[in-house]
Every structure is written in structure tokens, then in C-alpha cells.
Amino acid sequence: MLRRFAGGWRPSRLDVLLSLAVTVAGLVESFGRQGSEPWQIGDPYPFAAGAVAAGLVVLLRSLFPATALLLLTAIGWAVQVAAGHGYYAAWHFYSTLILVHTVAGAAEPRSRRGLAGLGCVLLAYAHLQTLQSNDAAEVLIGAIFVGVAYGSGILLRRQIDQTRRLAEQTARLEAEREERARWAVAQERSRIARELHDVVSHNVSLMTLHAGGVRRLLGDDRARERDLLLAVEQAGREAVGELGLMLGMLRQTETETETGAGAGAGAGAPSPQAGLDRLDELISQVAQAGPEVRLRVTGAPRPLPAGLSLSAYRVIQESLTNVLKHAHATTVDVVLRYAPGELRVTVVNDGVRAHSAGTGGHGLIGMRERTALHGGELSAGPTPSGGYRVLAVFPLPC
């Protein structure tokens, strides 16, 4: 108990409220029922002092429940000795009920602490029967109230324990969900890095080959230009080699993530060099699996960087894969809108229920990563008609 005081223990608002209720009601009873009749209080001061002491015990009830009940029993006995028998204070009875409830909720009844608390409850109840002359009905009524207070304390403690367990389980599941999401992001970024490695290596290799071809076409009188182009060739070969060393280990990663986003029924798994130029092939494969897929291109198409074209293709591919897996759609509309400064990719299906992109294969996570890679934004959600829409906006240089 002293350690809890030293640790900055403070009574709860409920403790303060109950303490004030016991103290004030006890003082009102002590001085409000003063008189010479048998049902009145002859000397109010012992009862008033007892009410104040009982209020203090109730205030500290959470620190030592069983000891507090014993102290209250001793206070009741001392008040009766000081004031004489003849009047039983009501504040003592409802203070006893409060502490019985507290003792029952402090420990499991079958534990040592719980059994000790039960013993204190029985002792307090036995003491209640000695404070005035009670008939059988009064004894039974007292037992009912004490039993209800004890039982409600047990039920409250079990409810609190269950709530705590559920909170811990929820926190654990949330932590696991966040860990799985981080793992999915890492896996998707690894896959994107592998694809971009192929794109960058391919383009750098082409640059190196072109530089070598131009160097060979130059005559001996262009030695300076030949040396500069030779340096470009060497830098290109070194860059390709460094890319291989830095990202080559990604090739050893398991292919689960790579096939998870594009291995839908009929969707196929195109090569890493896939892009919007292969969109017709993808749509025809998906259409063979069931739904009607309609492609519409608005605006003036323009050449796109290989990485951006690949990311836009993957967003469409993942959206169509989820349509096949979850949406039960009959028609799917794919719209590419070329606008000044941006490319909008929209995939809308009329499925009877919204497909859960990302629930199992973390599809939404992959699409968001690919869109954010190019500084774009992605939104996904149900449509008012009951289908599902995926919209990716990729910024384009003007």
C-alpha cells in the first residue's frame, strides 16, 4: 500500500463521490435524527465521527479492500460502544455494501486473496447482526443485500478482465495487421524495384550500345569525340554492373508477391517490360474469363516513360484481377484519359458487391505504391450503383 502511495496513487472520481456521499449522508443522519426517542440518536458526535471515518475508508477502498472492510467493522463496533446500543446507523450498512462489492471485485474468489476477502465479508455480515435486535426477516434481508453486493463485484471484475483481454487481443491483432501491411509494402516495393531494374538496365544498355556505334562511325581525326564517347560507354557498362550488384539479390526473392498481383484467372503474367502498349492483350485475356471489358482512350495519347507506363499497366492489371476474383461483374470499363499534365486511369465494374482489393493479396497497397512512385494519387471504393471504381492519377511533364 505504501508503495502505491509513493508511486503517485490517486483516488478515482467514483471513490471521491462515494466517500462524499457516505460522509455527508452520515453527518445529516447523525445530527438530523438527534433526539431522546429509541429510534433517534442521543449523542450525535460518535456517529458523526464514525461517518467521517467511514468516508475516509471508502475513499481508500481500492488500496486495501479487505482491510478497509475490517476497519469499517471496527469503526461500527467503536461507535456502538461509545454511543451505546439502541440505534444502528444507516451509513454503516451502505458503507459495508460498498466495501463488500469492492472486496469481491479485487480478486478471484478461489484464490488465497479471494478466500481471505470472503472471510472478511462473512465477518462483517456477522457483525451487522450484533448491532441491533433482528428477526429472521431482517437477517435474510441483510444476507440478500450483502450477497448481491458480493455477486455484483465478482461479475464486474470478470467483465473488466474480459474487456482487458479483448483490448489486448485487439491491440495484438492490430499490431499483426500493421506488420502484415508493412511486409506487403516491402514486398511490393521489392517487386517494383526488380521491374524498374530491368527498365533502367535495358535503357542504359541501349545508350551504351548507341554511344559505341557512334564512336565507331567517327574517323581518326575525331579523337577527342571518340574518347568522350568511350568514356560514356565505360560509364554505362559500370552503371549496368552496379545495378546488377545492388539489385541482383532481388532476383532471389520468392515469386509469390510477383505472381500475386497479376496471376488472376485469365489475366496472365506478362514480362517485366509490359506497358500500356500491351493493354489490348491483357484485356482480351480477361474478357475470355467472363466479363465484358471495354477500353476507351480519351485525349491525345503521348509517349510515356517506361516506368510510368509499366505502373499504369500494373494498376489496370491488378484492378482486372480483383474483378475476376471478387466482384462477379458482367462489364468492366477501362478508361485512359490523357490530359495536359496528367494521365487518368479509371477501372469501373458493375459487380454485385465491392471487391476487396488488397484484402488477401494486398492489391490496393501495391497500386498505391506504384502510383505514389510517380508522385500520383490513387482512390478506390464502391460506386453509388453498387459496383467498384479504381482511379489512379499520374502526373505528366507538360
Average confidence (pLDDT) over 209-214:
74
pLDDT at 248 over 50: yes
Q: What is the pLDDT of residue 358?
A: 42
Lowest mean pLDDT among 67-76, 122-131, 198-207, 210-219: 198-207
Contact 143, 125 (CB under 8 A): yes
User: How confident is the model over 378-396, as pLDDT tens digits?
Assistant: 999 888 888 899 999 999 8
Q: What is the mean pLDDT of residues 62-88?
A: 83
Contact 126, 105 (CB under 8 A): no
CA torsion, ordered 35, 39, 43, 45, to nearest 10 deg: -110
- Please report which confidence band the pLDDT of residue 269 belongs to, taking 50, 70 and 90 as the band edges: very low
Q: What is the CATH classification number for the domain harbouring 330?
A: 3.30.565.10
Grade residue 140 by pLDDT with cuts at 50, 70 and 90: confident
Q: What is the β-pairing status of strands 377-382 and 388-395?
A: antiparallel
Cα radius of gyration (the chain):
40
Same domain, 228 and 350: no
In the prediction, which pLDDT does 123 show? 87
Does 57 fall in a domain? yes
Q: In what order do the strands lie in the sheet with 331-339?
A: 292-298, 331-339, 342-349, 388-395, 377-382
* Stretch among 66-75, 143-152, 154-163, 255-264 having the lowest mean pLDDT: 255-264
Give the list of residues 6+ apart from residue 280 with CB closer than 8 angstroms, or none. 295
- Looking at 252, 278, 293, which one is the last position of a domain? 252
188 in any annotated domain? yes
pLDDT at 262: 41
Domain boundary among 202, 221, 252: 252
For residue 390, give the nearest of 369, 367, 361, 373 by alpha carbon: 367
Percent of the chain at pLDDT > 70 equals: 81
Among 76-85, 94-103, 132-141, 145-154, the least confident range: 132-141
Q: 141-174 pLDDT, tens per residue?
A: 888 888 898 888 889 888 988 999 999 998 888 8
| Residues 192, 93 share a domain | no
Q: Is the pLDDT higher at 310 or at 355?
A: 310
Listed residue (274, 281, 293, 276) closest to 396, CA to CA? 276
pLDDT band at 52 (very low <50, low <70, confident <90, very high): very high
Q: Which of 205, 234, 252 is the last residue of a domain?
A: 252
Q: Containing domain of residue 112, as a range?
A: 2-133
Residues 334, 243 within the same domain = no
Same domain, 24 and 120: yes
Q: Which residue has the higher pLDDT, 203 or 47?
A: 47
Q: In the prediction, which pLDDT does 204 show?
A: 75
Residue 61 lies in a domain: yes
Please write the tens of the pLDDT for every residue from 310-332: 889 989 988 888 888 776 788 89
Q: Is residue 66 part of a domain?
A: yes
Looking at every residue in the chain, the average pLDDT score rounds to 79
- Asked whether residue 257 carries a pLDDT value surpassing 50, the answer given is no
Domain count, the chain: 3
Q: Is the pLDDT of residue 367 over 70?
A: yes
pLDDT for residue 135: 66
Percent of the chain with pLDDT over 90: 14
Residues 279 and 212 in one domain: no
- Among 10-14, 35-39, 121-125, 176-180, name the one with the lowest average pLDDT: 35-39
pLDDT computed for residue 101 by the predictor:
92
| 266/248 same-domain check | no
* Domain shared by 35 and 123, yes or no: yes
Q: Are residues 43 and 86 in the same domain?
A: yes
